[in-house]
Amino acid sequence: MGLSIECHEVLELLEHPKDQLYLDTEVVIIGNGPAGLALSTFLSGWQPYYNPCGPHPDEQLHSRLVENFDRSLLEKDLSWYEEEFAERIPPNIRPQSHLYDWLVRPDEANSNPPQTSSNCLKMVYEPEKTVPHVVLGDTAIGGSWNTYDDEMVTVSLSHWMDLPGFSISDWLGGKPLLSRLPAVVIRKYMRAYVKRMHLNKHMRPFTKVTHLE
């Protein structure tokens, strides 16, 4: 895909107020907030696997996922989840998203408080599965979180702000989390996440898409 974008680098803004950058890649992600960073992680070769050594408390789900557990969930046909677990999936929630959340937070049922910090997923880096991509954002890494007041706290509970493979608790060294964290902490976490997951080379902050070709 070829595209033309405006690139505004903060440190060079006075010398080069407008510069044109041309990219040719397979995938373009517009937005460098949590969703864009998570997608970049998977495209960078990080693969989610079901961990049978930390079995899911739901026996039916465990029996389903333990089959071919040595295959990435991204390579499995998970279409059965929507039908077999329809009663658990809230309205307007994609089945795949609900499955991911339930695997990462297996002790929660439809947003109930967790009883443990167990996680039934493990992330494995497989560089041969990397898909060429670029993440464009017209702000620093963090997307709209850069526009929030530092002291504004999240609506979601803190652990629901975790990104794949490197949680906020991991970043803080296992320290207990406040139930909700301020925006300034979430911004710092996302920037640390990009470094930890080696996503830097895919990031193009302070970049605005003007048109596609």
Domain locations in the chain?
1-44+130-213, 48-125
Rounded CA gap, 62 and 51, in Å? 10
Rounded CA gap, 200 and 158, in Å? 24
Given the structure tokens 């902050």, which residue do they identify? 205
The per-residue pLDDT for 73 is 96
The per-residue pLDDT for 175 is 83
The per-residue pLDDT for 9 is 39
Q: How many CB atoms lie within 10 A of CB 83?
A: 8
**Cβ-proximal residues to 160 (8 Å cutoff; 6+ apart), any chain:** 105, 154
**DSSP track, the chain:** -EEEEEE--GGGTTT-S-EEEEEE-SEEEE--SHHHHHHHHHHTTEEEEE-TTS--SSHHHHHHHTTTTTS-GGGS--THHHHHTGGGS-TT--HHHHHHHHHHSTT-STTPPPSS----EEEEE-GGG---EEEE-SSSTTGGGGGS-TTPBPSS-GGGGPBTTB-HHHHTTTPPPPSS-BHHHHHHHHHHHHHHTT-GGGEE-SEEEEEE-
CB 132 within 8 A of CB 140: no
The per-residue pLDDT for 185 is 96
Structure tokens at 37: 């960073």
pLDDT in tens, the chain (213 residues): 445 444 443 333 323 344 556 678 899 999 999 999 999 999 999 999 999 988 999 999 999 999 999 999 999 999 999 999 999 999 999 999 999 999 998 976 444 444 445 789 999 999 999 999 999 999 999 999 999 999 999 999 898 999 999 999 999 998 878 899 999 999 999 999 999 999 999 999 999 887 766
CATH number at 1-44+130-213? 3.50.50.60
CB 43 within 8 A of CB 130: yes
Q: Quote the pTM value.
A: 0.83
